[in-house]
Amino acid sequence: MNILIMGPAGAGKGTMSELILKEYDIPHISTGDMLRENVRNNTELGKLAKSYMEAGKLVPDDVINAMVEDRLQQPDCQKGYLLDGFPRTLVQAEAFSEIADKIGKPVECVIALEVDFEILKDRITGRRICSKCGAIYHIKGHPSKVEGVCDECGGALIQRKDDTVEQLKVRMDEYEKSTKPVIDFYEARGVVKHVNAAQAKEDVFAVIQEALEHLS
Ligand code: AMP
C-alpha cells in the first residue's frame, strides 16, 4: 500500500498517520521527523536543514529527494509506505514519480487533509510533542495527564520552534505556493482523496479508512 498524506501544518497528518499505522503494516515516513532527527544528531544533513526549518522554509529539493530515495530502499518498506510531508513541491513530485516507478511502488492514494487557517492556528499554538517518543498532545484538546510530561514514556513535552502563529503564516504561504501544485499533479492521475480535517479525529479517520479499503 503506497500512500501519501498531505495537508498544511496542523491539519493532523501526524495524528492520522498514527491511526493508519495501527491498521496497516507499513512504515510512517515523515520527512519533517527525519530532518529533526538529523538536526538533533547534528549530522551534515541536519546542519544544512536547520536554518531552513527554523525559518519555516523548505529544505532544497535535491537534499530531500536523496533522503527519501535512500529511506524507501530499507527492508521495512517492502509492503509499501505512508509518506508524510513529501513531496512538497512539483520538482519533488516529478522526481518521486521516477523513484517510485524505479522501485516498483507508485503512489496509489493521496490523502489531502483540508482545514481553515483559524482552526490551524489554535491547533498549532497548543500543540506539544514528546521530546523522547514523538507522541502528540494539545494543551486543550488532548492534554497529558501531568502537565509537560508524556503519558506514554514520561519524556518532557516541548513546543516545536516553528509552532508559532508567525511561522504558521510562512508555512501556509509555502504550502499554497509549493504544495497545492503537487495535489494538482496527483489529481491529474486520479489518486487524490480530499478529506475535511476540521471534524473530530474519529470522523476524519473513518473517511480515510474508507478510501484505503478500496486499495486493499
Ligand atoms: P513538518 O514536520 O512536515 O511540518 O516539516 C518541518 C520542516 O521540515 C518544514 O517546515 C521544512 O523546513 C522541512 N521539510 C519537511 N519536509 C520537507 C520537504 N518534503 N521538502 C522540503 N522541506 C521539508
Q: Please check whether residue 44 lies inside any domain of the structure.
A: yes
Q: Which bin fits 188, alpha (ψ -120 to 50), beta or left (φ > 0)?
A: alpha
- Tell whether ligand 1 has an atom less than 6 A from the beta carbon of residue 58: yes
Residues spanned by the domain of 152? 127-162
Of 10-14, 145-149, 207-211, minimum mean pLDDT range: 10-14
Q: Please check whether residue 82 lies inside any domain of the structure.
A: yes
Q: Please check whether residue 85 lies inside any domain of the structure.
A: yes
Assess whether 88 carries a catalytic annotation.
yes
Query: Above pLDDT 90, what percent of the chain?
Result: 73
Sorted by sequence, the CB contacts under 8 Å of residue 86 that are 6+ apart come out as: 4, 29, 31, 64, 68, 92, 96
95 and 184 housed in the same domain: yes
87 and 185 housed in the same domain: yes
**Cα–Cα distance between 205 and 47 in angstroms, integer?**
36
With bands split at pLDDT 50, 70 and 90, how would you rate the model's confidence at 105? very high
Residues across the chain: 216
Segment 31-49 mean pLDDT:
94
46 and 132 housed in the same domain: no
Average pLDDT over the chain reads 92
As for how many domains the chain has, the answer is 2
Q: Please check whether residue 106 lies inside any domain of the structure.
A: yes
Catalytic residue among 71, 160, 180, 201: 160
Residue nearest to atom 10 of ligand 1 (CA): 56
Q: Please check whether residue 121 lies inside any domain of the structure.
A: no
**Cα–Cα distance between 123 and 203 in angstroms, integer?**
17
At 179 the pLDDT is: 87
8 and 86 housed in the same domain: yes
Segment 22-46 mean pLDDT:
93
Assess whether 189 carries a catalytic annotation.
no
**Cα–Cα distance between 164 and 114 in angstroms, integer?**
20
Strands 127-130 and 136-138, by their bridges, are: antiparallel
With bands split at pLDDT 50, 70 and 90, how would you rate the model's confidence at 216? low
**pLDDT tens digits along 162-191:** 889 998 898 888 888 888 899 999 999 999
Sorted by sequence, the CB contacts under 8 Å of residue 66 that are 6+ apart come out as: none
**Cα–Cα distance between 30 and 4 in angstroms, integer?**
10
Q: Can you read off the three cell numbers belonging to residue 50?
A: 536547520
Q: Can you read off the three cell numbers belonging to residue 31?
A: 520527512
How far apart are the CA of 34 and the centre of ligand 1, in A?
9
207 and 100 housed in the same domain: yes
112 and 58 housed in the same domain: yes
